[in-house]
Structures are given as C-alpha cells and as structure tokens.
Amino acid sequence: MSSIFNKLNTILNPKKEEKKGNGLILFKNVKEAISAERILKNYSVKVVAPPQEVREGCDLAVEYDLVEEMGIKRELEKNNLNAVKFISLDDASMEPLNLVKVKEIDGFTLVRSGNMKITIDKVGKIVNVSGGGCPDVPYLNLKLKGKNILKIPEEDTPKNLGYTLCAYTLNKAFEKAKTIALEGTK
C-alpha cells in the first residue's frame, strides 16, 4: 500500500532537479497518454501530472528527455497518436528554435538553423553538413552528403533518420535548403 502511495506521491510531487533537460508531451486524454508511454517504452519516458498552467484537458502527460524529441515524435506519428503539444520543462514558454539564416558563399548556399548548418551547390547537391553535438549528426552527414536534396526520398530526410534535437534543428535547415534548390530549378 505504501508503495502505491509513494508512486502517487512521485507523480504528483516530482523532485525539481529531475525536470532539467526534460520535456512534457500533452495529450487530449488520459488514454492517449497511457498509450504513448507503452509505445515509447524504448525511450526515457514516464507518465506524470502536468502542471496546472500547461494543462490542455488531459490530467496526465508524458515526461521525456528533451534531446530524444525527434525519435519520439516519429514513433508517435507511426502509431497515429497525435500529441497536443510538446513543451520544455526548463521553461514552459520555450519552443524549439525556428530561426533559419541563409548565406551565399562562393556560389554555394549555406543554410543555418541554430547550431546546425547545411550547404548545397547550385543544382541542390549537399556538399557539407556541420554543427551539433548529438551522435546522429555525423550519421546524417554521411547519409546526406553528395546527394541532391531534391532527390532525397522522404524516408531519408533528417526528420526520418534522426533521433535528437540536433536532427530536428538540421531538418529545419534541410527544408529551407530544399525550398531554395526547388526555386533554383524554376
């Protein structure tokens, strides 16, 4: 009995230090939150009570390791589970970076999103990927480099191959670079 009480106490009164670097996935209802915990069994997730100020109808949410956001989003999509919102517990008002900057260098186009950069040539060939710190970045670099951005199938885009926030950020730059390459062909 006391262990049930302890578990309930942990959910309702989580220790503050555990939140650092974590995020919260909000769902429409309790059933979806519980399904998500099952689907995401290979990730560091747990069902928690969301703070009052971020509640979206459901009184259970899934806490996760922020850095794993990309893989988690893909896993939920694969299982047709639509989250209402992803928020950072470091600061509930924080959302992933959306800022993308473009620079022309020696006839090539460098697209930068936060800590991630992708460079394409005039016909859209990816010549370099750089930045980041998560281990899927060197993997994405090997997978993408040398390919034409317009011919990369959806399943081989950073959002479908990557797992981490660096992959998420790279995907922002990738999408912008693809738009630029597409405009160049018109």
Partner 1 sequence: MIIAGAVPIKGMELIKGPVKLNKDTFEIKNKELPISMGTCALLGAAFKTLEYFGKEDELKFITAGDIGEGDGSLKIYEELHEINDDLTIIHYIKPKISEIIKVDFSKNVIGDAGGMYAGKAAGIGDKFHMFFPDVGELAFLADENSSHPAYVRGFISEIDDQEIPKLIKMAYTQKMPKNMVVKGSKDHIVNEGNIVDTVEYPKFEAMECIGGTGDTLTGITSSLIACGFKTEKAGILGCKLNRKLGELVKPSPDTQIYEIIQKMPEALKEFDL
Chosen residue from 83, 129, 177, 181 binding partner 1 by CB under 8 A: 129
Chosen residue from 14, 51, 131, 184 binding partner 1 by CB under 8 A: 131
CB of 177 to partner 1, least distance (A): 12
Beta strands in the chain (DSSP E): 22-26, 46-48, 61-65, 85-88, 100-105, 108-113, 116-120, 126-131
Tokens representing residue 163 in the block: 């797992």
Tokens representing residue 44 in the block: 């560091």
Cα-only R_g, the chain: 19
51 half-sphere exposure, CB direction, 13 A CA radius: 14
Reduced to 3 states (helix: H, G, I; strand: E, B; else coil), residue 56 is coil
103 half-sphere exposure, CB direction, 13 A CA radius: 9
Chosen residue from 169, 175, 177, 181 binding partner 1 by CB under 8 A: 169
Q: Which is nearer to partner 1, 30 or 108 (CB)?
A: 108
Site string for partner 1, 33-62 (x = CB under 8 A): ------------------------------
Binding to partner 1 (CB under 8 A) within 67-126 occurs at 67-71, 88, 90-91, 94-97, 99, 103, 105-106, 108, 110, 112, 114-115, 117, 119, 121
- The span from the CA of 174 to the CA of 111, in Å, is 8
CB of 136 to partner 1, least distance (A): 3
Residue 24 interacting with partner 1 (CB under 8 A):
no
Sign of CA dihedral 28, 33, 38, 41: positive
The contact set with partner 1 (CB under 8 A) reads 20-21, 65-71, 88, 90-91, 94-97, 99, 103, 105-106, 108, 110, 112, 114-115, 117, 119, 121, 127-139, 141-142, 145, 162-169
